[in-house]
Amino acid sequence: MRKIAILNQKGGVGKTTTVVNVSAALALEGHRVLVIDLDPQAHLTIHLGADQAADAKGVYDVLTGSVAMGEAIHPVRNNLWLLGANIDLVGAESELINEVGREIILKKAVESVEDRFDFLLIDCPPSLGLLTLNALAAVDEVIIPIQPHFLALQGFSRLLQTVTLVHTRINPALRVSAILMCMFDSRTSLSSEVREDIKQFLSGARNSSHPWAQADVIPVHIRPNIKLAEAPSHGQTIFEYEPHCNGAADYEAVAAFLSGEPTEAGTADVSETVETTEMNEVAAVEETEIAATDAANTNETPQDSPQSVSLDREKNETAESISQEQSTPHFGI
Ligand SMILES: Nc1ncnc2c1ncn2[C@@H]1O[C@H](COP(=O)(O)OP(=O)(O)OP(=O)(O)O)[C@@H](O)[C@H]1O
Ligand SMILES: [Mg+2]
Protein backbone atom coordinates (compact mmCIF):
# COMPACT_ATOMS: atom_id res chain seq x y z
CA MET A 1 0.00 0.00 0.00
CA ARG A 2 1.26 3.50 -0.86
CA LYS A 3 0.79 5.70 2.18
CA ILE A 4 0.64 9.45 1.68
CA ALA A 5 -0.01 12.34 4.08
CA ILE A 6 -1.28 15.58 2.56
CA LEU A 7 0.28 18.16 4.83
CA ASN A 8 0.79 21.88 5.18
CA GLN A 9 0.26 23.58 8.52
CA LYS A 10 -0.94 26.64 6.65
CA GLY A 11 -4.75 26.73 6.59
CA GLY A 12 -6.89 26.77 3.48
CA VAL A 13 -4.25 25.77 0.92
CA GLY A 14 -6.24 22.88 -0.60
CA LYS A 15 -5.33 19.85 1.56
CA THR A 16 -8.85 18.50 2.02
CA THR A 17 -9.90 19.29 -1.56
CA THR A 18 -6.82 17.38 -2.74
CA VAL A 19 -7.46 14.33 -0.52
CA VAL A 20 -11.13 14.10 -1.56
CA ASN A 21 -10.57 14.46 -5.28
CA VAL A 22 -7.28 12.59 -5.72
CA SER A 23 -8.67 9.66 -3.72
CA ALA A 24 -11.93 9.74 -5.69
CA ALA A 25 -9.97 9.74 -8.96
CA LEU A 26 -7.77 6.85 -7.80
CA ALA A 27 -10.88 4.91 -6.76
CA LEU A 28 -12.44 5.57 -10.18
CA GLU A 29 -9.24 4.24 -11.76
CA GLY A 30 -9.96 0.99 -9.90
CA HIS A 31 -7.54 1.30 -6.97
CA ARG A 32 -8.71 0.43 -3.46
CA VAL A 33 -8.29 3.63 -1.46
CA LEU A 34 -8.49 4.41 2.25
CA VAL A 35 -8.73 8.03 3.44
CA ILE A 36 -8.27 9.19 7.01
CA ASP A 37 -9.66 12.46 8.33
CA LEU A 38 -7.17 13.59 10.98
CA ASP A 39 -8.59 17.10 11.25
CA PRO A 40 -11.02 17.86 14.13
CA GLN A 41 -12.79 20.24 11.71
CA ALA A 42 -13.91 17.00 9.97
CA HIS A 43 -13.98 18.73 6.57
CA LEU A 44 -12.97 15.56 4.72
CA THR A 45 -15.75 13.58 6.38
CA ILE A 46 -18.29 16.31 5.59
CA HIS A 47 -17.01 16.78 2.03
CA LEU A 48 -17.55 13.08 1.37
CA GLY A 49 -21.11 13.42 2.71
CA ALA A 50 -20.28 11.03 5.54
CA ASP A 51 -20.80 13.25 8.61
CA GLN A 52 -20.55 11.08 11.63
CA ALA A 53 -23.65 10.16 13.59
CA ALA A 54 -23.16 10.72 17.33
CA ASP A 55 -22.45 7.03 17.95
CA ALA A 56 -20.39 6.35 14.79
CA LYS A 57 -16.81 5.21 15.30
CA GLY A 58 -13.96 7.22 13.86
CA VAL A 59 -10.34 8.21 14.18
CA TYR A 60 -10.78 9.40 17.79
CA ASP A 61 -11.96 5.94 18.85
CA VAL A 62 -9.04 4.30 17.07
CA LEU A 63 -6.48 6.65 18.65
CA THR A 64 -7.90 6.17 22.14
CA GLY A 65 -8.01 2.39 21.64
CA SER A 66 -11.75 1.93 22.12
CA VAL A 67 -12.25 0.36 18.69
CA ALA A 68 -10.12 -1.57 16.20
CA MET A 69 -9.20 0.12 12.91
CA GLY A 70 -10.93 -2.61 10.89
CA GLU A 71 -14.23 -1.86 12.65
CA ALA A 72 -14.05 1.92 12.33
CA ILE A 73 -13.40 2.27 8.59
CA HIS A 74 -16.42 2.18 6.32
CA PRO A 75 -17.04 2.34 2.57
CA VAL A 76 -18.19 5.74 1.27
CA ARG A 77 -17.96 5.11 -2.49
CA ASN A 78 -17.05 2.25 -4.76
CA ASN A 79 -13.36 1.41 -3.94
CA LEU A 80 -13.17 4.24 -1.37
CA TRP A 81 -13.16 3.78 2.43
CA LEU A 82 -13.11 6.41 5.17
CA LEU A 83 -11.86 6.60 8.72
CA GLY A 84 -13.86 9.66 9.68
CA ALA A 85 -13.39 12.45 12.20
CA ASN A 86 -15.71 14.24 14.52
CA ILE A 87 -15.37 16.97 17.09
CA ASP A 88 -14.13 14.53 19.80
CA LEU A 89 -10.81 14.59 17.97
CA VAL A 90 -10.18 18.07 19.41
CA GLY A 91 -9.50 16.45 22.78
CA ALA A 92 -7.33 13.61 21.47
CA GLU A 93 -4.03 15.50 21.60
CA SER A 94 -4.35 16.35 25.31
CA GLU A 95 -5.88 12.97 26.22
CA LEU A 96 -2.96 11.10 24.69
CA ILE A 97 -0.24 13.32 26.15
CA ASN A 98 0.86 10.78 28.80
CA GLU A 99 0.42 7.73 26.59
CA VAL A 100 3.60 5.76 25.87
CA GLY A 101 4.18 5.51 22.11
CA ARG A 102 1.52 8.15 21.46
CA GLU A 103 3.09 9.14 18.11
CA ILE A 104 2.76 5.66 16.60
CA ILE A 105 -0.82 4.70 17.50
CA LEU A 106 -2.09 5.46 14.00
CA LYS A 107 0.89 3.68 12.41
CA LYS A 108 -0.03 0.46 14.19
CA ALA A 109 -3.70 0.85 13.30
CA VAL A 110 -2.84 1.39 9.63
CA GLU A 111 -0.58 -1.68 9.60
CA SER A 112 -3.54 -3.79 10.72
CA VAL A 113 -5.46 -3.04 7.49
CA GLU A 114 -2.51 -2.56 5.12
CA ASP A 115 -3.30 -5.60 2.95
CA ARG A 116 -6.76 -4.35 2.08
CA PHE A 117 -5.80 -1.20 0.18
CA ASP A 118 -3.60 0.10 -2.64
CA PHE A 119 -3.47 3.73 -1.43
CA LEU A 120 -3.84 5.53 1.88
CA LEU A 121 -4.29 9.31 1.90
CA ILE A 122 -4.37 11.20 5.20
CA ASP A 123 -5.90 14.67 5.47
CA CYS A 124 -3.83 16.47 8.12
CA PRO A 125 -5.01 19.36 10.30
CA PRO A 126 -3.42 22.79 9.74
CA SER A 127 -0.99 22.31 12.65
CA LEU A 128 2.13 20.34 13.53
CA GLY A 129 0.86 18.74 16.76
CA LEU A 130 0.43 15.14 17.88
CA LEU A 131 -2.21 14.31 15.26
CA THR A 132 0.16 15.36 12.47
CA LEU A 133 3.02 13.42 14.10
CA ASN A 134 0.80 10.34 14.02
CA ALA A 135 0.17 10.91 10.33
CA LEU A 136 3.90 11.29 9.61
CA ALA A 137 4.73 8.14 11.56
CA ALA A 138 2.09 6.16 9.64
CA VAL A 139 3.03 7.08 6.05
CA ASP A 140 6.01 6.82 3.72
CA GLU A 141 5.31 9.95 1.70
CA VAL A 142 4.31 13.53 2.28
CA ILE A 143 2.76 15.67 -0.44
CA ILE A 144 2.69 19.37 0.36
CA PRO A 145 -0.04 21.43 -1.30
CA ILE A 146 0.93 25.07 -1.71
CA GLN A 147 -1.24 27.99 -2.72
CA PRO A 148 1.08 30.43 -4.50
CA HIS A 149 0.07 33.66 -2.89
CA PHE A 150 1.41 36.25 -0.51
CA LEU A 151 3.76 34.59 2.03
CA ALA A 152 3.00 31.15 0.56
CA LEU A 153 6.28 29.76 1.85
CA GLN A 154 6.14 31.20 5.33
CA GLY A 155 6.39 28.22 7.68
CA PHE A 156 7.78 25.96 4.95
CA SER A 157 11.06 25.43 6.82
CA ARG A 158 9.24 24.50 10.02
CA LEU A 159 7.24 21.96 8.08
CA LEU A 160 10.41 20.43 6.61
CA GLN A 161 12.02 20.47 10.04
CA THR A 162 9.10 18.45 11.45
CA VAL A 163 9.38 15.92 8.62
CA THR A 164 13.11 15.61 9.31
CA LEU A 165 12.53 15.05 13.03
CA VAL A 166 10.04 12.25 12.38
CA HIS A 167 12.30 10.79 9.67
CA THR A 168 15.24 10.72 12.10
CA ARG A 169 13.50 9.56 15.24
CA ILE A 170 10.40 7.59 14.34
CA ASN A 171 10.03 6.74 10.68
CA PRO A 172 13.18 6.39 8.54
CA ALA A 173 11.06 5.61 5.46
CA LEU A 174 9.43 9.04 5.53
CA ARG A 175 10.16 11.44 2.66
CA VAL A 176 8.57 14.42 0.99
CA SER A 177 7.68 13.07 -2.43
CA ALA A 178 6.07 16.08 -4.07
CA ILE A 179 4.72 19.60 -3.93
CA LEU A 180 1.32 20.26 -5.48
CA MET A 181 0.50 23.78 -6.61
CA CYS A 182 -3.16 24.44 -5.74
CA MET A 183 -5.35 27.36 -6.82
CA PHE A 184 -2.51 28.16 -9.24
CA ASP A 185 -3.42 31.01 -11.55
CA SER A 186 -1.01 30.95 -14.48
CA ARG A 187 -2.10 34.49 -15.45
CA THR A 188 -0.28 35.96 -12.46
CA SER A 189 3.50 36.16 -12.43
CA LEU A 190 3.43 35.61 -8.65
CA SER A 191 2.15 32.02 -9.12
CA SER A 192 4.94 31.12 -11.53
CA GLU A 193 7.58 32.82 -9.41
CA VAL A 194 6.56 30.97 -6.23
CA ARG A 195 6.69 27.72 -8.21
CA GLU A 196 10.14 28.55 -9.61
CA ASP A 197 11.44 29.44 -6.14
CA ILE A 198 10.27 26.08 -4.80
CA LYS A 199 11.78 24.19 -7.75
CA GLN A 200 15.08 25.97 -7.25
CA PHE A 201 15.10 25.22 -3.52
CA LEU A 202 14.32 21.54 -4.13
CA SER A 203 16.96 21.13 -6.83
CA GLY A 204 19.51 22.57 -4.37
CA ALA A 205 18.73 19.67 -2.01
CA ARG A 206 18.91 16.99 -4.73
CA ASN A 207 22.08 15.21 -3.60
CA SER A 208 21.62 15.78 0.10
CA SER A 209 20.44 13.36 2.77
CA HIS A 210 17.35 15.46 3.51
CA PRO A 211 14.07 13.57 3.36
CA TRP A 212 12.97 15.97 0.62
CA ALA A 213 16.04 15.36 -1.57
CA GLN A 214 13.98 13.60 -4.26
CA ALA A 215 10.90 15.84 -4.02
CA ASP A 216 9.71 17.74 -7.06
CA VAL A 217 6.82 19.97 -8.03
CA ILE A 218 4.09 17.80 -9.59
CA PRO A 219 3.94 18.75 -13.29
CA VAL A 220 0.20 19.32 -13.09
CA HIS A 221 -1.23 22.20 -11.11
CA ILE A 222 -4.74 22.76 -9.80
CA ARG A 223 -6.35 25.82 -11.31
CA PRO A 224 -8.72 28.05 -9.34
CA ASN A 225 -12.11 26.57 -10.07
CA ILE A 226 -15.35 27.59 -8.42
CA LYS A 227 -16.83 24.11 -8.86
CA LEU A 228 -14.18 22.73 -6.49
CA ALA A 229 -15.35 25.23 -3.87
CA GLU A 230 -19.03 24.37 -4.42
CA ALA A 231 -18.75 20.57 -4.34
CA PRO A 232 -18.19 20.20 -0.54
CA SER A 233 -21.52 21.73 0.41
CA HIS A 234 -23.21 19.04 -1.72
CA GLY A 235 -21.22 16.27 -0.03
CA GLN A 236 -19.85 15.33 -3.45
CA THR A 237 -16.49 14.81 -5.08
CA ILE A 238 -15.77 16.93 -8.15
CA PHE A 239 -16.38 13.87 -10.35
CA GLU A 240 -19.93 13.62 -9.04
CA TYR A 241 -20.66 17.34 -8.87
CA GLU A 242 -19.19 18.58 -12.18
CA PRO A 243 -17.16 15.89 -13.94
CA HIS A 244 -16.28 18.04 -16.96
CA CYS A 245 -14.86 21.11 -15.23
CA ASN A 246 -11.19 22.15 -14.97
CA GLY A 247 -11.06 20.99 -11.35
CA ALA A 248 -12.03 17.44 -12.34
CA ALA A 249 -9.49 17.40 -15.21
CA ASP A 250 -6.71 18.70 -12.94
CA TYR A 251 -7.33 16.25 -10.11
CA GLU A 252 -7.71 13.36 -12.54
CA ALA A 253 -4.31 14.28 -13.99
CA VAL A 254 -2.73 14.45 -10.51
CA ALA A 255 -4.12 11.02 -9.63
CA ALA A 256 -2.84 9.63 -12.94
CA PHE A 257 0.58 11.12 -12.21
CA LEU A 258 0.64 9.52 -8.75
CA SER A 259 -0.48 6.12 -9.93
CA GLY A 260 1.78 6.20 -12.98
CA GLU A 261 -1.17 5.83 -15.30
CA PRO A 262 -1.03 8.86 -17.58
CA THR A 263 -4.28 10.19 -18.99
CA GLU A 264 -4.67 10.89 -22.71
CA ALA A 265 -3.09 14.28 -22.12
CA GLY A 266 -0.04 12.57 -20.60
CA THR A 267 1.67 13.87 -17.51
CA ALA A 268 2.69 17.17 -19.02
CA ASP A 269 1.34 20.22 -17.25
CA VAL A 270 -2.13 19.76 -18.68
CA SER A 271 -3.41 22.58 -16.54
CA GLU A 272 -1.29 24.96 -18.54
CA THR A 273 -1.76 23.49 -21.98
CA VAL A 274 -5.48 22.73 -21.91
CA GLU A 275 -7.22 26.08 -21.94
CA THR A 276 -10.92 25.39 -21.54
CA THR A 277 -13.84 27.60 -22.38
CA GLU A 278 -14.38 28.21 -18.69
CA MET A 279 -10.94 29.80 -18.28
CA ASN A 280 -11.21 31.73 -21.53
CA GLU A 281 -14.54 33.14 -20.45
CA VAL A 282 -13.07 34.42 -17.18
CA ALA A 283 -10.10 35.91 -19.05
CA ALA A 284 -12.42 37.55 -21.60
CA VAL A 285 -14.49 39.19 -18.85
CA GLU A 286 -11.33 40.42 -17.12
CA GLU A 287 -9.86 41.77 -20.36
CA THR A 288 -13.06 43.71 -20.99
CA GLU A 289 -12.93 45.13 -17.46
CA ILE A 290 -9.26 46.09 -17.83
CA ALA A 291 -9.93 47.69 -21.23
CA ALA A 292 -12.77 49.70 -19.68
CA THR A 293 -10.50 50.82 -16.81
CA ASP A 294 -7.72 51.73 -19.25
CA ALA A 295 -10.13 53.76 -21.33
CA ALA A 296 -11.21 55.63 -18.20
CA ASN A 297 -7.58 56.27 -17.12
CA THR A 298 -5.86 57.21 -20.33
CA ASN A 299 -2.80 58.59 -18.50
CA GLU A 300 -2.20 55.37 -16.60
CA THR A 301 0.43 52.97 -17.97
CA PRO A 302 -0.14 49.21 -17.48
CA GLN A 303 2.88 49.06 -15.12
CA ASP A 304 1.32 51.70 -12.89
CA SER A 305 -2.00 49.91 -12.58
CA PRO A 306 -3.01 49.12 -9.00
CA GLN A 307 -3.10 45.40 -9.85
CA SER A 308 0.53 45.21 -10.97
CA VAL A 309 1.77 47.40 -8.10
CA SER A 310 0.15 45.09 -5.54
CA LEU A 311 1.46 42.00 -7.31
CA ASP A 312 4.99 43.40 -7.27
CA ARG A 313 4.71 44.11 -3.56
CA GLU A 314 3.45 40.58 -2.88
CA LYS A 315 6.28 39.15 -4.98
CA ASN A 316 8.89 41.05 -3.01
CA GLU A 317 7.35 40.10 0.31
CA THR A 318 7.20 36.43 -0.71
CA ALA A 319 10.85 36.48 -1.78
CA GLU A 320 11.76 38.14 1.52
CA SER A 321 9.86 35.49 3.41
CA ILE A 322 11.74 32.67 1.66
CA SER A 323 15.11 34.27 2.23
CA GLN A 324 14.27 34.92 5.88
CA GLU A 325 13.15 31.31 6.26
CA GLN A 326 16.29 30.12 4.53
CA SER A 327 18.51 32.19 6.79
CA THR A 328 16.93 30.92 10.00
CA PRO A 329 19.10 28.30 11.71
CA HIS A 330 16.52 25.53 11.53
CA PHE A 331 16.50 25.61 7.72
CA GLY A 332 19.83 23.83 7.60
CA ILE A 333 18.64 20.72 9.46
N1 LIG B 1 -8.64 24.93 -6.92
C2 LIG B 1 -9.54 25.55 -6.17
N3 LIG B 1 -10.29 26.56 -6.69
C4 LIG B 1 -11.20 27.22 -5.93
N5 LIG B 1 -11.44 26.95 -4.64
C6 LIG B 1 -10.72 25.98 -4.07
C7 LIG B 1 -9.73 25.23 -4.79
N8 LIG B 1 -9.18 24.34 -3.94
C9 LIG B 1 -9.77 24.52 -2.74
N10 LIG B 1 -10.71 25.50 -2.81
C11 LIG B 1 -11.52 26.03 -1.71
O12 LIG B 1 -10.63 26.72 -0.84
C13 LIG B 1 -10.98 26.49 0.52
C14 LIG B 1 -9.80 25.83 1.24
O15 LIG B 1 -9.57 24.55 0.67
P16 LIG B 1 -9.35 23.27 1.58
O17 LIG B 1 -10.43 23.15 2.61
O18 LIG B 1 -9.15 22.12 0.69
O19 LIG B 1 -7.99 23.69 2.28
P20 LIG B 1 -7.30 23.01 3.55
O21 LIG B 1 -5.84 23.21 3.37
O22 LIG B 1 -7.79 21.64 3.75
O23 LIG B 1 -7.84 23.94 4.74
P24 LIG B 1 -7.65 23.67 6.32
O25 LIG B 1 -6.23 24.04 6.61
O26 LIG B 1 -8.65 24.56 6.98
O27 LIG B 1 -7.92 22.21 6.56
C28 LIG B 1 -12.23 25.62 0.49
O29 LIG B 1 -13.35 26.44 0.57
C30 LIG B 1 -12.15 24.93 -0.87
O31 LIG B 1 -13.45 24.59 -1.36
MG1 LIG C 1 -8.66 20.75 5.44
CA distance 79 to 263: 20
Buried b / exposed e along 26-41 (16+ C-beta atoms within 10 A):
bbbbebebbbbbbbbb
* Ligand 1 atom closest to residue 125's alpha carbon, by position in its atom list: 27
DSSP state of 68: -
Walk along the chain (333 residues) in steps of 10 and give the mean pLDDT of each run.
97 97 98 97 95 79 95 96 91 90 96 97 96 97 94 88 96 97 94 93 94 96 98 97 98 96 51 42 39 37 34 42 39 23
pLDDT at 243: 98
CB 24 within 8 A of CB 232: no
CA triple 258-147-76, angle to 5 deg: 50
Q: Which of 16, 22, 38, 45 to mutate to test the pocket of ligand 1 (most atoms within 8 A of CB)?
A: 16
pLDDT at 130: 95
Ligand 2 centre from 44 Cα, in Å? 7
pLDDT at 263: 57
Question: Which residue's C-alpha comes closest to atom 14 of ligand 1?
Answer: 12
Ligand 2 centre from 14 Cα, in Å? 7
CA-wise closest residue to 73 among 105, 119, 110:
110
Query: What would you report as the CA-atom Rg of the chain, rounded to the nearest whole angstrom?
Result: 21
In the chain, the largest separation of any two C-alpha atoms, in whole Å, equals: 70
pLDDT at 53: 64
Q: For each of the domains in the chain, give its residue range(s) and CATH number, in order of start.
A: 2-332 (3.40.50.300)
Contacts of the segment 264-269: beta carbons below 8 A, 24+ positions apart:
267/219, 267/220, 268/219, 269/219, 269/220, 269/221
CA distance 27 to 14: 20
